[in-house]
A and B are shown apart, each in its own frame.
Chain A
């Protein structure tokens, strides 16, 4: 049994030996927004934020999350209360099948905290740790730029900022 914080709440969960964090989050907590595709850290679909850092949760052992603070797409916003990055992805249609989308959005969140006003090229490079097989890349990059604007406008004392 390990204790960890997920999306702001504390859980005691059973973590099987050798089980990775992504599988545990899906199985124990029913967080199916944590998508698993390649299981080798290549595609980024399972990206979550652990103690403020983006990680591919298929490469993290569940045991390693003991005492950590994990944020998944479910903790970012929900259908009644979208996060600005989620709104931006809808406005720019930064997805098709959307299997990869939660991973891209979590990667975008971590990136925008590092770089709140990126250029398109910076955003494209930052999003290159994830794979979108449908090929929505130009619209994913636009989504990230749009989200940067939304977040910038929402920042205290930053109202006058222009695009």
Chain B
């Protein structure tokens, strides 16, 4: 059997820390985001926003706005298509405009004008008569039967339940049970870099430019809303600033299209920073209550959690991705129930490591409470109770989407396709095991861990201690469609990948090109990529649910393999007179494994120009490759894992937390590009650390966001996070992911918070709820006294 190391030693391009493809554009400022785009003849739009958290428009008079010189048109709910559209994973469900405001700042109407300042002035000339409706902001109040009704479908989604074994037995088998409740504040994606959208209609065909990580899903949303064929919609997704889930499809993009259709001009709407933070999305407010049963030997017998998520006005989720369930899935009996509920707050949706940042933090805390009862080292407790490769997964989302039984589902898939699948509902590769061991060693855990609630150093009010936390997340989901990719080999021997993953800075344009170049056997510099144009890229989920490396990477590799097969068939027939499987491409040259044919060396370019010849009708060939079949359902077997180690100092007088050292470790299978990966890991850790110690949206009594700006919404800066730049990788090799790789970007955001929270516990001897701001730390210390 080939080992992971042997596999990887043969790679020429996969696994190399190549600078990202757009590095030069990025450091010279020439990279174009949607805010930088212009289209000939375009005009500018602005959106009127609701001054109420919940209200119905009784009358809207736009005549004064229409009369303002420079105004080209106004749209209200009377101009909006009345079809419901949905964002990916139920992050939005609603009409573009429907005459009801469901949160403070909700979209009401929009104006197009020659200049942005004219459009802005015109907004104030729109006269709206409102009927205010009762509003509800607390998710538990919104679940009550007599709560104000926010949506026609009702406020409450059906509970999403994951269960195994039997709760009563898990309780009986336990020597003790511990429980806790945490109410999590809402984190804001706080995107750096605004977004804009330009919509242009040509007859009944629509072209839309915007920064988006989900071009295909945005096209689907436009199709649903406008009821026009997909073939008439072209989305050109441009690079975005930091997204963290903010820039999927957003209703302002659809409003731009409605406005452009009304005024018959290309329209650009650029959001202000406040609009980016107060009108698009945020992380859910979540309430987690749970308990775990444990034996005195440290074996978990029970994990039981009840979790409420607030969807705000337009989210429609019944679940959050919560792969902490799998990570702690060795618990013998389990029951997790998620309750999605609407409130009259800004729409909430999937922010980086959705569910695993929140519910995951609660699960990690309850697990730590078990370890505290036992006096057991938290590294050891995790090694004992966390899933290992090959073991059964508990999250079985996919079953809900299958028609009939698993057996019937499998029978419907051709044997030829199915035979390479890993065992469904069992973890394909990796775990926290290796990275916890390696990380503990590199971090010097055994020297600094002094026992639960024990700092390793005390200097007056300042106490220093360490903590460890773990996180897991999925490697893409398949419920909304089958990802695909196209790889074209051009007549000059270069190749182009088309895969709709967008560009939010995560380096996918580079790592996908590495996958294609490795498979094709041509130099990396000859592979270019298109990630945003839905006219050339086949459908893909985009960059969400850690889909990119695992699922899109699989599709890119499969497309490259198909292209290469076609190339070698030509070469075998025309040059080698041998079966194609004796041929390979190395560094752009086609060679044979047959010793007698070693002297034949044909470049890819020569092979594709073979038919050009002397005949005037001859022409060079190009080749188009695509995946031959569907990918196995990744969510049934693949996860990625992170383990973080934090060293903190807590000032018990001021409540200030300083991060002294931080080590990120991760098991994502083969690391396609270590340069890209390090940034994903540390960037994820900083996102998680922000959630843990700084970040929270503040809502006033009317549901208005008080801190929708970067002055009042605090983010970590360079001096706030330790400078250790080395990270540690696990060595696992995935049987399905491209060249053994799995996904990367979300588990690290989930692992950081629990590591820091545990370190703070060890420093001060009490738990502090997130965000662990100085005032929350002081309040927790006062409460513990």
Report which A residues bind B (CB closer than 8 A).
31-40, 42-43, 45, 72-74, 77-79, 82, 86-87, 89-91, 93, 95-102, 105, 120-121, 123-125, 127-128, 130-142
Say whether B242 contacts A89, CB under 8 Å.
no
Judging by beta carbons under 8 Å apart, are B24 and A82 in contact?
yes
Alpha-carbon distance A155/B101, docked complex (angstroms)? 62
A101 adjacent to B26 (CB under 8 Å): yes
Binds A, one of B221-229, B522-530, B680-688: B680-688
Q: Choose among B28, B242, B507, B721 the residue that contacts A86 (Cβ–Cβ < 8 A).
A: B28
17 A–B contact pairs at CB < 8 A? A33-B29, A34-B29, A36-B35, A42-B710, A45-B193, A79-B24, A96-B505, A96-B506, A98-B505, A99-B193, A127-B719, A128-B720, A133-B192, A137-B717, A137-B721, A138-B724, A142-B725
Q: Verify B24–A90 contact, CB threshold 8 A.
A: yes
Say if the beta carbon of B743 comes within 8 Å of chain A.
Answer: no
Q: Given A133-B190, A135-B685, A90 and B19 touching (CB < 8 A)?
A: yes
B residues near A37, Cβ cutoff 8 Å: 192-194, 241, 273, 710
Q: Which residue from chain B places its CB closest to the CB of A78 in the assembled complex?
A: B28
Contact A33 B19 (CB under 8 A): no
B710 touches A131 (CB 8 A): yes
**Residue on B with the closest CB to A96?**
B505
Contact A96 B711 (CB under 8 A): no
Q: Which residues of A contact B202 (CB under 8 A)?
A: none
Q: CB distance A138 to B191 under 8 Å?
A: no
Given contacts A38-B711, A137-B718, A138-B723, contact A99 B30 (CB under 8 A): no
| Size band of the interface chain B makes with A | 35 or more
Given A131-B717, A137-B721, A138-B724, A93-B27 contact (CB < 8 Å)? no
Contact with A along B185-210 (1 / 0, CB 8 A): 00000111110000000000000000
Chain A hits for B716, CB < 8 A: 135, 137
Q: Closest Cβ of chain B: how far from A150's Cβ, in Å? A: 13
Contacts of B601 in A (CB 8 A): none
Asked if B715 is at the interface (CB within 8 A of a chain A CB), the reply is yes
Known contacts A33-B28, A121-B719, A137-B723; 18 additional CB pairs below 8 A are: A37-B192, A37-B194, A38-B273, A38-B711, A39-B272, A79-B28, A87-B27, A89-B27, A96-B242, A96-B505, A96-B683, A97-B241, A101-B27, A125-B719, A128-B718, A130-B717, A132-B192, A135-B716
Chain B: which residue is nearest A145 at the CB level? B723
Minimum CB–CB distance for B194 against chain A, Å: 6
Tell me the bound Cα distance from A150 to B715 in angstroms: 31
Partner of B239, one of A97, A101, A125: A97
CB of B558 closer than 8 Å to a CB of A? no
Shortest CB–CB separation between residue A42 and chain B, in angstroms? 4
Chain B interface helix/strand/loop/mixed: loop
CA distance A127 to B241 in the complex (A): 19
B721 near A133 with CB under 8 A, answer no
Q: Is the CB of A74 within 8 A of B29?
A: yes
7 interchain residue pairs of minimum CB distance: A33-B29, A97-B505, A135-B686, A99-B193, A98-B26, A99-B241, A96-B505
CB of B20 within 8 Å of the partner chain? yes
Q: Tell me if A133 and B30 are in contact (CB < 8 A).
A: no
Contact check: which of A123, A134, A135 meets B721 at CB < 8 Å? A135
Q: Please, which residues of chain B bring their CB within 8 A of the CB of A132?
A: 192, 718
Does B33 have its Cβ within 8 Å of any Cβ on chain A?
yes
**Contact across chains for A124 and B725 when beta carbons are under 8 A apart:** no
8 Å CB contact of A134 from B28, B194, B242, B709: B242
Q: Which of B171-196 contact A (CB under 8 A)?
A: 190-194
Give the shortest distance, in Å, between B530 (CB) and chain A (any CB). 18
